[in-house]
Amino acid sequence: MTPQSPEYEFGGTAEQRLEKLIFYAVRHGNILSHHATSIEDIRARLLSLEEDRQRRAVQDARTEERDKALLAEMEYVKKSLNALKGVLNKAVAIIFGAILLAVVKWVLEGGLSGVGS
């Protein structure tokens, strides 16, 4: 008598019914074992994904803080460059004014007296 035969499914002696129960227990035990293994695999995957999400959240926070620090430094550099630009503009204006004053003084002291003759 095999587990697939009709006598096996629907009756027989107590010994046959016990054999049938053992067969079903083993078959369902294998199925349950497979599902338990699948559940453990899914659980491990979920834990891995949660750890990865946490790692990414920490990395994103670090990146955000780094970006804030870089923006603050860029603002400082921009202000410094603007201040330097103002100082250089004043220096160029002073130099240009000094050259212009030197030319005017030279002309007033007679520096062009020999040009037209």
pLDDT of residue 74: 97
Q: How far is CA 24 from CA 14, 15, 32, 33, 74, in A?
A: 15, 14, 12, 14, 73
User: What integer best gives the mean pLDDT of the chain?
Assistant: 85
Note the pTM of the prediction, 2 decimals. Answer: 0.47
pLDDT category of residue 109 using cuts at 50, 70 and 90: confident
Q: What are phi and psi of 114, to 5 degrees?
A: -100, 5
Letter string b/e over residues 90-112, b meaning 16 or more CB atoms within 10 A of that residue's CB: eeeeeeeeeeeeeeeeeeeeeee
Per residue in 3-59, pLDDT (tens digit) is 555 444 556 777 777 778 777 777 777 777 777 778 888 888 999 999 999 999 999
Can you tell me the distance from the alpha carbon of 18 to that of 37, in angstroms, rounded to the nearest whole number?
A: 28
